[in-house]
Amino acid sequence: MTKSGFRIERDSLGELNVPADALWGPQTQRAVENFPISGLRMPRDFIRALGLIKWAAATANLELDALDPKRAGAIQKAALEVIDGKHDAHFPVDVFQTGSGTSTNMNVNEVVAHLASRYAGMPVHPNDHVNMGQSSNDVIPTAIHVSALLGIEQHLLPALAYLNAVISRRIGDIGEIVKTGRTHLMDAMPVTFGQELSGWRAQIELGTARVMGCRPRLQAIALGGTAVGTGINADPKFAALAARYLSVKSGLEVRPSPNYFESLSSQDAAVELSGQLKTLAVSLTKISNDLRWMNSGPLAGIGEITLPALQPGSSIMPGKVNPVIPEAVTMVAAQVIGNDATITIAGQSGNFQLNVMLPVIAYNVLQSIDLLSNAARVLADAAIAGFKVNETAVSAALERNPILITALNPVIGYELGAKIAKQAYAERRPVRDVAAEQTKLPADELARFLDPRELTKGGVKAEGGG
């Protein structure tokens, strides 16, 4: 021990100082010194996945008699503590590091070995024992898949189900209210709030299905391929055993990849998942922008709904309240779309037997999952659940909507319909009144054809097929 609060550690490159209280060893310390780039660390869920992998590997090696029970038990105990987040302060390696993620794999190996040596009362080596039957080249791709699956199962899918349920509840509350539809941001034929919100719900349901569709590819893990996909230095039974134990401990269903050369050299499954997360981001943007437009005003905008007032909206304009939740969600969406661009580029960086942008793929995929999970719940609770429909404004706009004349096209033709719509708009009169003057149709027939609620069902059919 040195007098300056450091201890001397050695690796194949020589000696260096490591903080005296650090659980990591020399390879981690070299990474800390080599990559002072962003201050961003690998996500908690990724470290958790690595802990699960080390536990499963030790359990498999114990069954294969490759590890003695004392060392295996100590590694299992240490790995469980990593899984539980008890030593998160000891994973300091920057996201922007060696492209294989070797620095992070060795960080976990060194922490687990340090703890396991203490528990076993004998030396436990980070490479020879903790990393037995493994390589960073198969461990890190496996951790990407496992951490992504955990994030999907435990965070994203429940959040999307919750958002879907809130939208469904609001359809039940306000679904029968008829409003002016809009295309090109211009007045169009009427719809109900239920119909409009059903579009949102379908987007969330389809987005959920797209994410779930990625799972079979994510469940195929690289563990067992070791350095280049040939499985060098791993027992032939190791991959299947480790996958089985990893499934048991994580609660996931994972299996050895059918082709390790693909699993080590490419990250197509992560690219696929990111693409579906981007689609979800686009869906949340659409929903958020609908809310912003409907809430616009309160006097000079559309003013169909009032979002919950959550905070003052201006540092200079008293009384102003802004749609802060939809705005926050659209920023989340922008970040996720940017993450997808990074993941796409990183996914292209497989050279021969290894992809060399694994850490940034892991970081961005997991950030996208977390952001979308949190944003979906916030959007549900703080915007959709509590907005109020301004029924007076909705009814007034609907009554004046000249586009309702579209329903009379089969009876009076497009040209006369256009003339009536223009006159109604110019004179600011209900279209029904102008149509009565221009067509001489009976009032009861006009009322049937121009009933907004009937128009949301497709409208009244003209006699004889029109």
Query: Exactly one of 87, 103, 125, 314 is catalytic; which is it?
Result: 314
C-beta separation of 340 from 287 below 8 A: no
**How many other C-beta atoms lie within 10 A of the C-beta of residue 457?**
10
- Cα separation, 435 vs 402, whole angstroms: 10
Place of tokens 């660390």: 41
**How many other C-beta atoms lie within 10 A of the C-beta of residue 155?**
19
Query: Using H for helix, E for strand and C for coil, what is the string for 407-456?
Result: HHHHHHCHHHHHHHHHHHHHHCCCHHHHHHHHHCCCHHHHHHHCCHHHHC
> Which tokens belong to 320?
């102003």
Query: Exactly one of 4, 12, 184, 315 is catalytic; which is it?
Result: 184
Q: Give catalytic status of residue 184 as yes or no.
A: yes
- Cα separation, 300 vs 90, whole angstroms: 55
> Which tokens belong to 39?
């201050």
**How many other C-beta atoms lie within 10 A of the C-beta of residue 168?**
15
- Cα separation, 106 vs 397, whole angstroms: 65
Q: Give catalytic status of residue 247 as yes or no.
A: no
Strand partners, 188: 181
CA 337 vs. chain centroid, Å, equals 10
| Four-residue CA torsion sign, 211, 213, 215, 217 | negative
Positions annotated as catalytic residues are 184, 314
